[in-house]
């Protein structure tokens, strides 16, 4: 990926895995998983990238659930 001057190919593919999980893009995940292994990422690195993606995806879900509970609480009175 020539457009990136400061990121190596492993970092790019691991970020791609995290973004794929966070964005819910299965074909993207398949692509970046394969590419990550091709450029030399370890399974341990891939697992961490997956966990990061899960954390990113869960944040807005957690926030919306908390907001829903606040709204219910305000209207229970």
What is the pLDDT, as a whole number, of residue 29? 98
Q: Report pLDDT digits (tens) over 36-66.
A: 999 999 999 999 999 999 999 999 999 999 9
Given a contact cutoff of 8 angstroms between Cβ atoms, the answer to whether 20 and 50 are in contact is: no
Alpha-carbon gap, residue 32 to 76, rounded angstroms:
47
Given a contact cutoff of 8 angstroms between Cβ atoms, the answer to whether 77 and 48 are in contact is: no
Residue whose pair of structure tokens reads 């990422």 in the numeric block: 41
Domain locations in the chain? 9-75
Tell whether the model's pLDDT for residue 32 goes beyond 80. yes
pLDDT, average across residues 2-21 = 95
What is the pLDDT, as a whole number, of residue 73? 87
Given a contact cutoff of 8 angstroms between Cβ atoms, the answer to whether 15 and 35 are in contact is: no
What is the pLDDT, as a whole number, of residue 12? 97
By the 10 Å C-beta count (0-12 exposed, 13-18 middle, 19+ buried), 41 is classed as: buried
Tell whether the model's pLDDT for residue 76 goes beyond 70. yes
């Amino acid at each position: 990926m020539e457009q990136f001057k400061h990121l190596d190919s492993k970092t790019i593919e691991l970020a791609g895995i995290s973004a794929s999980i966070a964005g819910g893009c299965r074909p993207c995940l398949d692509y970046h998983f394969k590419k990550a292994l091709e450029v030399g990422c370890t399974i341990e690195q891939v697992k961490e990238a997956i966990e990061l993606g899960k954390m990113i995806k869960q944040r807005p879900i957690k926030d919306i659930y908390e907001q829903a509970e606040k709204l219910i609480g305000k209207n229970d009175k």
